[in-house]
Amino acid sequence: MVNINDLKLDEIDYEIKRLNKELPHLELMNGIWELKKQLPKGVYFPDGIDEFDLPLIEKLSPDVSIYFNYKEKRKKEKELRSLGLILLSHGQVTYRLEDCRGKLYSLNNLRRKKLEPEDTPASTPQDTAKQDKFIPFLTPAGAKWNDLEMSFDEDNLDIVRVTVKEIKEVKNYAEMGFKNINTGLPNKLWKRLLEFKIGNIKYSGVEKEKVESDISRLRKSLKKYFKIKGNPINLKHGYESAFKVNVMEKSNRSVHSFSNYEEEKD
């Protein structure tokens, strides 16, 4: 058996891609089994019945929710068949799903460590910015901005828990490319990003030009880091993030800090 730590970067990327493809299939099967557990044994509804036939549904089952669970199960089973897959046993699905998620977590951590720059002697912030390597987030294929969630640490707003589908990692402003190269502190774009945790960003006529400039630069930074297509920030009732932003409760996590790329001076 190959030791995971002996894998080369291209081998790690291949395994991550393979597991990311397998994971939604296992989650689909798991969803079917979860619905099966909620259904009484032998329950059946004719294919032609729909939610508008409430009298008939109630006649077949006193609990209307059973019908909707049954309908969702049939929908998932149809999707599974369209993929050319056969439903595995509940035990197999549970084991393989846990194994798949565990391997993805380990491989993503290993990939990040292999891409991290080696420790170097003390240097100036300018020297460090030049040496550090930009490491984009390992965003799952096909992810959209509404799949992204950023949860900031209420005790330390320099830290954020990033979730994109099944990928979950704790990052800080420097890892995401929001470090001021002169001070080493969060730059103004990070502070602008933090504003989304309390809602849309609105502005008066005097601030309009400055806010528009910051949002334009923030969009570019987010696109570069997450590699997601589309617009991460939309203008509706003020500027509105297409991703979820919130604040974590108490957190004791610490994150290793390094700059991803050379950010322009504030």
What string of DSSP letters covers 202-213?
---TTTHHHHHH
Which string of b and e fits 145-165 if b means at least 16 CB within 10 Å? bebbbbbbbeeebbbbbbebb
User: CB within 8 A of 150, min separation 6: which ones?
Assistant: 160, 161, 162, 163, 193, 243, 244, 245, 246
Q: What is the mean pLDDT of residues 177-203?
A: 89
R_g of the chain, CA atoms, integer Å:
24
Is pLDDT above 60 for 266? no
Burial class (CB in 10 A: 0-12, 13-18, 19+), 265: exposed
Provide the pLDDT for residue 127.
Answer: 44
Provide the pLDDT for residue 115.
Answer: 76
Give the three-state DSSP class for 249: coil
Which has the minimum average pLDDT: 6-15, 57-66, 123-132, 255-264?
255-264
**DSSP label at 186?**
B
Give the three-state DSSP class for 51: coil
Q: What percent of the chain has pLDDT over 70?
A: 75
pTM equals 0.49
Is pLDDT above 90 for 219? yes
pLDDT digits (tens, 9 = 90+) for 232-258: 999 988 899 999 999 875 544 433 333
Q: What is the mean pLDDT of residues 18-42?
A: 84
pLDDT digits (tens, 9 = 90+) for 89-128: 999 999 998 888 888 888 888 887 777 655 444 444 444 4
Q: What is the mean pLDDT of residues 170-174?
A: 87
Provide the pLDDT for residue 75.
Answer: 84
Q: Could you report how far apart the first and last alpha carbons of the chain are, in Å? A: 51
Is pLDDT above 50 for 130? no
The domain ranges of the chain are 4-106, 128-248
The answer to whether 33 touches 67, Cβ cutoff 8 Å, is no
Provide the pLDDT for residue 74.
Answer: 79
